[in-house]
Amino acid sequence: MPLGSRIMNTHAHIDIVNHLDTSEKKWFAIYTKYKCEKYVVDKLTKKNIEAYIPLVSKTKRYVRKTKHYKVPLINCYAFVKITKDQYVKVLESEYVMGFIKQRKNLISIPNHEISLLRRIVGEIDEIEMTPLAFNEGAAVEIIAGNLTGVKGKLVKKQGKNEFVVELHTIGYQLQMIIDKSMLRPLNMAIATG
């Protein structure tokens, strides 16, 4: 069963992958105008389009008060779960700049990556986004908490352990500080298991 339809570009002889499907809803990343992510998700929801934006809690302390608010985990990104006939409706929505593509290919985001984003924003507040890069380090698995079973690479920095979760489809890595007792080296698990 093919992952998506392929369109043949007769001029360049390059296959372009398009994961849009006529009946099965799939997740795609969209690019929004800066600071309009929540607005876009609200408008898409009103059009009966399933839209999601991972939000993290932030706190600002002022002299006389403390303010709590939520900000997008990834600036200018939102996610939509759509079929092929909803594609144009998304593009026509105010402040939607376009779909995130990989070299002209419209690739869907696996459900498990959206689920992972939801789990991450629900448990951990201190998350930092960085563009996808290659990091050296030991392969590890989280063995406790909501992220149990998630695998990645361990990066040591100033005596702290940072667990890097790679989300290749959307082109970002999540870096978060995880307690050492919640991690297990994968090579040790293979050797003893």
Q: Considering only the top CATH level, what class is 1-109?
A: alpha beta
- Beta strand 5-9 with 55-61: parallel, antiparallel or unpaired? unpaired
**Non-local CB neighbours of 116 within 8 Å, separated by 6+ positions:** 147, 150, 165, 167
Q: Where in the chain is the domain with CATH 2.30.30.30?
A: 123-193
One DSSP character per residue, 93-161 reads: STTEEEE--BTTBBPPBPHHHHHHHHHHHHH-S-EEEEE-------EEEE-SSTTTT-EEEEEEETTEE
pLDDT tens digits along 11-57: 555 677 788 999 999 999 999 999 999 999 999 999 999 999 999 88
pLDDT tens digits along 52-108: 999 988 888 888 999 888 889 888 999 999 999 999 999 999 999 999 988 888 889
Right CATH number for 123-193 from 2.30.110.10, 1.10.3720.10, 2.30.30.360, 2.30.30.30?
2.30.30.30
Q: Where in the chain is the domain with CATH 3.30.70.940?
A: 1-109
Q: How far apart are CA 152 and CA 154, in angstroms?
A: 7
